[in-house]
Chains A and B, each alone.
Chain A
Amino acid sequence: MAGLTERASARIAERLEPLMGAAHDAASDPQVKSARTTVVVGRLLGAAFLICFGTGVYSHLLQDPLPWLPMPTRPVELYRVTQGLHVITGTAAVPLLLAKLWTVYPRLFTWPPVRSVSHLLERASIAVLVGVSLVEVTIGLMNLVQWYAFPFSFRATHFALAWVLIGALAIHLGVKLPVIAKVWRRPTGDRADATGRFVSRRGFLVAVGAAATSAVALTAGQTVPALAPLNVLAPRRMGVGPQGLPINRTAAQAGVTETAVAPDWVLTVTSPTGSRDFTLEDLRALPQAEEVLPIACVEGWSQSATWRGVRMVDLLAAADAAEPTAPLRIESLQERGAFARTEMPPQYARDPLTLVALELNGGTLDVDHGYPARIIAPGRPGVMQTKWLRRIEVTA
């Protein structure tokens, strides 16, 4: 039996070897698909992945704060920048990733496919790195348009695989460090303007650069005002939405079309010392403040807007609540959804810029923007800017 398997595998290898050799020769181009080109593109891709990872972890920390790690409330545009960068860099990573894979594709057909245990582990780690990288950018792009065609939850998977990706990347760098160091230390002999079999190296790098630049230029306008006129491919457009502002979730989607406009609506503020109900008239009778703060969505679009309403500190004082030292619990009229109930760390609750907003851009809040009252705080993701407020609880 063992002999049979051995003979069979020998015959398969005999057939496969020339095929793999032919595939390798068809795809290879030692001059342009060189270690140097791979290092040049890989460096950019590595930087892009690190930016995505850092900004992604930051976004998760804002959504699931660690009690011992206070998050900054200034600059007010901080999250707008980090999350905008996350999506812009992730978009630019598509051409960089494909370019990186293009330079190393011939190596897929290495013969023999496995030389040793360490070689097997190296190839396995590369398979993980490649597969996870492709999935991360793909589901990231799909999430931007809310196309959930994958059989797993986006948020948890995108986060968990990001750690796998960065880990596999570090392993890959460790394995390849001698090759990288060699390219960096001395000239490798392959010329910067190598003609190449398929394309010159310069032509290849210019094409990849042009692809990355145009991909960013035609989409980043959903968060960078200067690029807004070029925005033809992004899912969102600045100024498009009720009161000139996009929305993440409509009142109908949240199932609050009736409760949000109910005449008996009140906002309940509770604290260890008591509880008080505020009608919309009560809220309007409190001192009103106006602030310019951005809405910055996890999906990478953002826009600045003028909000008017009651400062959170004034509202809590009117309810006779002490200055919060623990997270506020904030409830929406929305019954379902992960963000129907959120927590606001005390530094945001005490921030004078944090409003319970009643107006947007000079008019009463549209029901899709959270009428009768919503949270708007500096530096927080849009999903935490709870709309259709029902209850605010001061826990300590």
Chain B
Amino acid sequence: MRAARGLLIAVGLGLAAYGGFLVLTEIDPSQWIGIAVWVGAAILLHDGVVAPVVVAVGLGAASVRGRVGDRGVAIAQGALVVGAILTAITVPALVASTLGNPNPTILVGSYGIALAVIWAVLLALAAIALRASRIAVVRAARAARTK
């Protein structure tokens, strides 16, 4: 274990150092600040915006789990995750489409329409799951009362 850890850390330091060497030798010094800003901004954007929003959504989901039922909330959360990821990977195509490209064979899709359809399907799925789950919770509560 000790040897494996030492080896991994040593190899990692070597690889990262080579990456740093490439940054210093292959990239113009005028671009270094931009790279540092992007790496720093990525951390801030994730830790300060994306992750807190996800925590807030999670707390919201946790607060309704009892009333709506675990299953429905889990499916709705899953739909939200899928929609958010598909949106995230399509943002570049959406933005680049508005900027235009002289090459007519790139950005050939209708990304806004595609995302709208995807969200409509996911939201419908979430709504059905939430409703079914809520009905089951209400029925279970009623059954428990009449027993």
Chain A residues packing against B (C-beta within 8 Å): 26-27, 91, 94-95, 98, 101-102, 105, 108, 127-128, 130-132, 134-135, 138-139, 141-142, 144-147, 149-153, 156-157, 159-175, 177-178, 181, 195, 197-200, 203, 206-208, 210-212, 214-215, 218-219, 231-237, 240-242, 246-250, 252-253
What sequence of 0s and 1s flags, for each residue 81-116 of chain B, a beta carbon within 8 Å of any chain A beta carbon? 110111011101101100101111111110100110
Looking at the complex, which one of B12, B70, B77 makes contact with A170 (CB distance below 8 Å)?
A: B12
Looking at the complex, which one of B8, B59, B111 makes contact with A173 (CB distance below 8 Å)?
A: B8
Does B39 sit within 8 A of A, measured CB to CB? Answer: yes
Do A169 and B12 touch (CB < 8 A)? yes
- Smallest CB separation, B66 vs chain A (Å): 12
- Smallest CB separation, A360 vs chain B (Å): 14
Contact (A153, B85) CB under 8 Å given A27-B51, A203-B78: no
Q: Provide the bound-state CA to CA distance between A76 and B52, in Å.
A: 47
CB nearest neighbor in A for B94: A145
Do B105 and A197 touch (CB < 8 A)? no
Looking at the complex, which one of A27, A162, A166, A195 makes contact with B55 (CB distance below 8 Å)?
A: A27
What sequence of 0s and 1s flags, for each residue 9-20 of chain B, a beta carbon within 8 Å of any chain A beta carbon? 101111111111
- Smallest CB separation, B37 vs chain A (Å): 8
Please list the 6 inter-chain residue pairs (A to B) with the smallest Cβ-Cβ separation, ordered nearest first. A167-B16, A170-B12, A163-B19, A174-B8, A167-B15, A151-B34
Q: Provide the bound-state CA to CA distance between A174 and B11, in Å.
A: 10
Does B74 sit within 8 A of A, measured CB to CB? Answer: yes
Does B123 sit within 8 A of A, measured CB to CB? Answer: no
Q: Can you give 11 A-B contacts (C-beta < 8 A)?
A: A108-B51, A142-B96, A147-B92, A160-B23, A164-B23, A207-B78, A214-B86, A215-B86, A233-B89, A234-B109, A235-B96
CB nearest neighbor in B for A169: B12
Do A198 and B59 touch (CB < 8 A)? yes
Looking at the complex, which one of A147, A162, A242 makes contact with B19 (CB distance below 8 Å)?
A: A162
Do B5 and A250 touch (CB < 8 A)? no
- Smallest CB separation, A56 vs chain B (Å): 12
Q: How large is the interface on B (under 10, 10 to 19, 20 to 34, 35 or more residues)?
A: 35 or more
Interface of chain B residues 51 through 84 with chain A (CB within 8 A)? 51, 54-55, 58-59, 61-62, 70, 73-74, 77-78, 81-82, 84
Q: Provide the bound-state CA to CA distance between A145 and B101, in Å.
A: 9
- Smallest CB separation, B47 vs chain A (Å): 6
Does B31 sit within 8 A of A, measured CB to CB? Answer: yes
Do A101 and B51 touch (CB < 8 A)? yes
Do B96 and A171 touch (CB < 8 A)? no
Do A177 and B54 touch (CB < 8 A)? no
Q: A94-B89, A153-B31 are in contact. List 5 more A-B contacts (CB 8 A).
A: A151-B31, A151-B34, A167-B14, A171-B13, A253-B102
Do A167 and B18 touch (CB < 8 A)? yes
Q: Provide the bound-state CA to CA distance between A234 and B96, in Å.
A: 12
Q: Provide the bound-state CA to CA distance between A138 and B42, in Å.
A: 9
Do B15 and A170 touch (CB < 8 A)? yes
- Smallest CB separation, A18 vs chain B (Å): 17
**Which residues on the B side are within 8 Å of A165 (C-beta)?**
19
**Which residues on the A side are within 8 Å of B85 (C-beta)?**
94-95, 98, 211-212, 214-215
Q: Provide the bound-state CA to CA distance between A214 and B51, in Å.
A: 22
Does B139 sit within 8 A of A, measured CB to CB? Answer: no
Most buried by A among B11, B31, B40, B43: B43
- Smallest CB separation, A86 vs chain B (Å): 15
Does B1 sit within 8 A of A, measured CB to CB? Answer: yes
What sequence of 0s and 1s flags, for each residue 114-132 of chain B, a beta carbon within 8 Å of any chain A beta carbon? 1100100000000000000
Q: Provide the bound-state CA to CA distance between A156 and B34, in Å.
A: 13
Q: Provide the bound-state CA to CA distance between A396 and B96, in Å.
A: 45
Contact (A152, B54) CB under 8 Å given A131-B40, A237-B109: no
**Which residues on the A side are within 8 Å of B135 (C-beta)?**
none
Do B27 and A156 touch (CB < 8 A)? yes
Most buried by A among B17, B42, B88, B105: B105
Contact (A199, B103) CB under 8 Å given A160-B23, A163-B18: no
Do B46 and A134 touch (CB < 8 A)? yes
Do A146 and B74 touch (CB < 8 A)? no
Q: Provide the bound-state CA to CA distance between A173 and B6, in Å.
A: 10
**Which residues on the B side are within 8 Å of A145 (C-beta)?**
92-93, 95-96, 101, 106-107
Q: Provide the bound-state CA to CA distance between A334 and B13, in Å.
A: 42
Do B15 and A163 touch (CB < 8 A)? yes
Q: Provide the bound-state CA to CA distance between A29 and B77, in Å.
A: 16
Looking at the complex, which one of B22, B88, B93, B108 makes contact with A163 (CB distance below 8 Å)?
A: B22
Do B70 and A150 touch (CB < 8 A)? no
Looking at the complex, which one of A138, A162, A167, A235 makes contact with B107 (CB distance below 8 Å)?
A: A235
